[in-house]
Amino acid sequence: MLDYTTAEYFSRTGIVINPAKTCQPIGAMYAALGIHRCLPHSHGSQGCCSYHRMHLARHFRDPVMASTSSFTEGAAVFGGGSNLKTAIKNIFSIYDPDMIAVHTTCLSETIGDDIPTYIAQSQIPEGKYVIHANTPSYQGSHVTGFSAMVKAMVKYLSVNSDTPNGKLNIIPGFVNTGDMREIKRMLNLMGINYIMFPDTSGVLDAPLTGKYEMYPSGGTKIEDIIDAGNSLATVALGSFASAGGAEELRKKAKVRPMVLNTPIGVRGTDKFLLAVSRATGQEIPAELEEERGQLIDVMADLHSHYHGKKVAIFGDPDVVIGLTAFLLELGMIPRYVLTGTPGEVFEREVKQMLQAAGVDGVTKSAGDLFSLHQWIKAEPVDLLMGTTYGKYIARAEDIPLVRVGFPILDRGVHSYMPILGYKGALRLIEMISNALLDRQDRDAQDEDLELMM
């Protein structure tokens, strides 16, 4: 497995080997799926749309609907205007969405297609919307693509109509449906009126009823995104995926932005609850305090399972930053912390955390899994945390892998289960602890196999 990887590390500027990111359009597609009755549309070759749909369908094991401009060589030479206008007409008459969310690709960006003009020239039925985000694949990553589409939602839809709604906006970031449900559960327990967008729960975790619904019941309502301009404040969870949308709301509608880390672990969740409590004046209820206490109880009881273990973590920047903070709370050592997404902010923030905790760790943005593997070869870790792509390294180096983040292609149910909030932290502890103990059990001599651990 990965037999050609050696520990001799040198810095590369040409080749990426085993990437830890993918391109912007899939993030835009994922965000757009979080709007009720919205059809994402990929403006480019049909292969892009196909790849993104496949990848999301594999992670969520649910239908992922999106259309494409199906460029041919002719469109690549003469521009994609005619393809987009035909597509918009066909989509409204055949699929009847309330909104089409167009995102671009490296192809349409390289030829410089002017999407706003094409949209203006299109036939859009009364009461329907077409929005767009520029998501060239040669910039950022799938996470920034998500951010670009969230910004586009605000830009096209949100309005401050001088009618304060008393609600709190929440931008959850590029997280699972289970996490989005967990955020809503916490806000509901606090009695907060909120507008969360995008919200893929109810879309990518829709029930099997025997009747296929192209537009399941979930997703943020368009009127709520419009109304987001009248809200008290915007809580953006994760600076990479969500700060852009919050900032856009400030610029466009003067809604106060509050950018927080993705609420993973004790303090991450504490900060989130405090922030939303202060912004709305709603108290943090006993139920949530009880959940926190349960989490602390478990951490005290189980610390010996994981304290002091070295971990390599990789994945999307917002989630990895949150996870790193939590691992430090658990007394673990995040030895290598890597994201494929470019952005020095990531390195700065992780370094700060590690330094504050007195941990000697290596961190890298715009990195790849080949580098991560080389580091591990040079100095091994006890645990690997990241996406399914980590399984090659896990096998090559015989390290247990805890699957967390996007994408997870080889296990089910994960997308229904949160890693956010106190409940999510409990689940993370269970996964981490079990992975380490399963390894201990596997490796133990007969006489050392423990009944109680």
Enumerate the H helices of 112-238 as residue ranges. 115-120, 142-157, 177-189, 222-227
Of the residues 29, 34, 99, 105, which one makes contact with another protein according to CB under 8 A: 105
Residue 213 binds another protein, judged by CB under 8 A: yes
Q: State whether residue 248 is helix, strand or coil.
A: helix
Please write down the HEC assignment for all residues of 252-268.
Answer: HHCCEEEEECCCEHHHH
Binding to another protein in span 215-274, by CB under 8 A? none
Closer residue to another protein in complex, CB, 82/160: 82
Distance in angstroms (rounded) separating the CA atoms of residues 104 and 359? 42
Binding to another protein in span 326-355, by CB under 8 A? 340
Distance in angstroms (rounded) separating the CA atoms of residues 214 and 65? 8
Binding to another protein in span 148-167, by CB under 8 A? none
Closer residue to another protein in complex, CB, 348/395: 395
Of the residues 126, 162, 163, 211, which one makes contact with another protein according to CB under 8 A: 211
User: What length does the chain have?
Assistant: 453
- The DSSP element (H or E) to which 77 belongs, if any, is helix 73-78
Whole-number minimum distance, CB 243 to another protein, in Å? 21
Task: State the number of binding residues for another protein (CB under 8 A).
Answer: 82
Bridge partners for 162 per DSSP: none
Residue range at the interface with another protein (CB under 8 A); choices 130-138, 169-177, 231-239, 297-305 = 130-138
Whole-number minimum distance, CB 206 to another protein, in Å? 7
Q: Contact, 87 vs 115, CB < 8 A?
A: no
Whole-number minimum distance, CB 209 to another protein, in Å? 7
Binding to another protein in span 29-48, by CB under 8 A? 41, 44-48
Radius of gyration of the chain (CA): 22
Residue 106 binds another protein, judged by CB under 8 A: yes
Of the residues 126, 127, 162, 209, which one makes contact with another protein according to CB under 8 A: 209
Of the residues 2, 259, 284, 345, which one makes contact with another protein according to CB under 8 A: 2
Residue 101 binds another protein, judged by CB under 8 A: no
Binding to another protein in span 366-405, by CB under 8 A? 370, 389, 392
Of the residues 53, 151, 292, 310, which one makes contact with another protein according to CB under 8 A: 53
Residue range at the interface with another protein (CB under 8 A); choices 100-108, 172-180, 185-193, 343-351 = 100-108
Of the residues 104, 134, 141, 262, which one makes contact with another protein according to CB under 8 A: 141
Identify the DSSP state of 415.
G
Residue range at the interface with another protein (CB under 8 A); choices 6-14, 30-38, 172-180, 268-276 = 6-14
String of DSSP letters for 311-376: EEEEE-HHHHHHHHHHHHHTT-EEEEEEESS--HHHHHHHHHHHHHTT---EEESS-BHHHHHHHH
Distance in angstroms (rounded) separating the CA atoms of residues 306 and 432? 7
Of the residues 18, 165, 193, 440, which one makes contact with another protein according to CB under 8 A: 18
Residue written as token pair 């994945």: 315
String of DSSP letters for 45-63: -HHHHHHHHHHHHHHH-S-
C-alpha dist (Å) from residue 383 to 257, 314, 434: 36, 12, 11
Q: Contact, 341 vs 141, CB < 8 A?
A: yes
Residue range at the interface with another protein (CB under 8 A); choices 90-98, 187-195, 295-303, 315-323 = 90-98
Of the residues 29, 37, 97, 139, which one makes contact with another protein according to CB under 8 A: 139
Residue 356 binds another protein, judged by CB under 8 A: no
Of the residues 32, 36, 55, 229, which one makes contact with another protein according to CB under 8 A: 55
